[in-house]
């Protein structure tokens, strides 16, 4: 038991004793006397503790976890990377010099944020490539839900990259991959 818990327990016991003493004074005092009014007042000091005791009991009741929660959607690992956009990314500098390492090749997952809307996606550093934070890089992006994201990510749109609770970089849409591979008329 921590010191705070021990103090709280002592306070509850003392207030309970004061309330019992108030009940005795109220019982002994004649109606309309100061003794009876003081007994009533001492009994009323117990009321705030009752709320704390009820809150403590509610906290002890184990709540069942919500089983109906939908599983988080994620990319299928068996599917190859299918780029949808060409973007320019600039990762923000690391907060600690020891973490200022080159960004390795492969897929990196994040949320791409425009205003207050976020879209799950991943970007890929080509095989044999790497780059340092703070330098703009032209990379390819794939969205988890392209039907929702692509209408928002038009050429020239700026966005931020979110991983966990931290914005790790900034970017700008260069072009749609479909537009770049479409035959010229």
For residue 64, what pLDDT is reported? 57
Average pLDDT over residues 13-27: 91
Residue 133 has pLDDT above 60, yes or no: yes
146 and 100 in a common domain:
yes
105 and 177 in a common domain:
yes
Whichever domain contains 154, its CATH number is 2.40.30.10
175 and 121 in a common domain:
yes
Most confident by average pLDDT, 19-23, 45-49, 180-184: 19-23
98 and 19 in a common domain:
no
Instruction: Tell whether 66 is covered by a domain.
Output: no
123 and 176 in a common domain:
yes
pLDDT digits (tens, 9 = 90+) for 83-108: 899 999 999 988 788 778 888 888 88
Instruction: Tell whether 74 is covered by a domain.
Output: no
Share of the chain above pLDDT 90, in %: 38
pTM for this structure?
A: 0.56
Strands (E), the chain: 85-91, 106-114, 117-125, 137-143, 158-163, 166-176
Instruction: Tell whether 166 is covered by a domain.
Output: yes
Structural domain total, the chain? 2
Q: What residues make up the domain containing 30?
A: 3-60
Instruction: Measure the CA–CA gap between 49 and 72, rounded to whole angstroms.
Output: 42
Share of the chain above pLDDT 70, in %: 90
Instruction: Tell whether 78 is covered by a domain.
Output: no
User: Which pair of structure tokens corresponds to residue 116?
Assistant: 């207050």
Most confident by average pLDDT, 53-57, 69-73, 78-82: 78-82
For residue 76, what pLDDT is reported? 76
- Evaluated on CA atoms 68, 71, 73, 76, the torsion sign reads negative
Mean pLDDT of the chain: 84
Residue 185 has pLDDT above 50, yes or no: no
Residue 184 has pLDDT above 60, yes or no: no
Instruction: Tell whether 67 is covered by a domain.
Output: no
94 and 145 in a common domain:
yes
Mapped onto helix, strand or coil, the DSSP state of residue 131 is: strand
Instruction: Tell whether 20 is covered by a domain.
Output: yes
* Residues 173, 85 contacting (CB under 8 angstroms): yes
Instruction: Tell whether 75 is covered by a domain.
Output: no
């Amino acid at each position: 038991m921590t010191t705070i818990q021990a103090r709280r327990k002592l306070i509850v016991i003392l207030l309970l004793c004061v309330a019992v003493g108030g009940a005795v004074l109220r019982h002994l005092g004649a109606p309309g006397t100061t003794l009876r009014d003081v007994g009533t007042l001492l009994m009323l000091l117990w009321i705030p503790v009752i709320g704390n005791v009820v809150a403590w009991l509610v906290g002890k009741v184990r709540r069942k976890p919500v089983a109906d929660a939908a599983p988080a959607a994620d990319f299928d690992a068996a599917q190859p990377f299918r780029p949808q956009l060409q973007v320019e990314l600039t990762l923000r500098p690391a907060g600690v010099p020891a973490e200022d390492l080159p960004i390795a090749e492969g897929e990196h997952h994040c949320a791409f944020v425009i205003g207050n809307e976020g879209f799950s996606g991943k970007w890929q550093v080509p095989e044999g490539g790497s780059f340092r934070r703070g330098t703009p890089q032209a990379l390819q992006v794939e969205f988890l839900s392209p039907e929702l994201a692509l209408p928002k990510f038009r050429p020239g749109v700026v966005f931020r990259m979110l991983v966990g609770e931290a914005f790790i970089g900034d970017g700008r849409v260069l072009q749609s991959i479909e537009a770049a591979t479409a035959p010229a008329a």
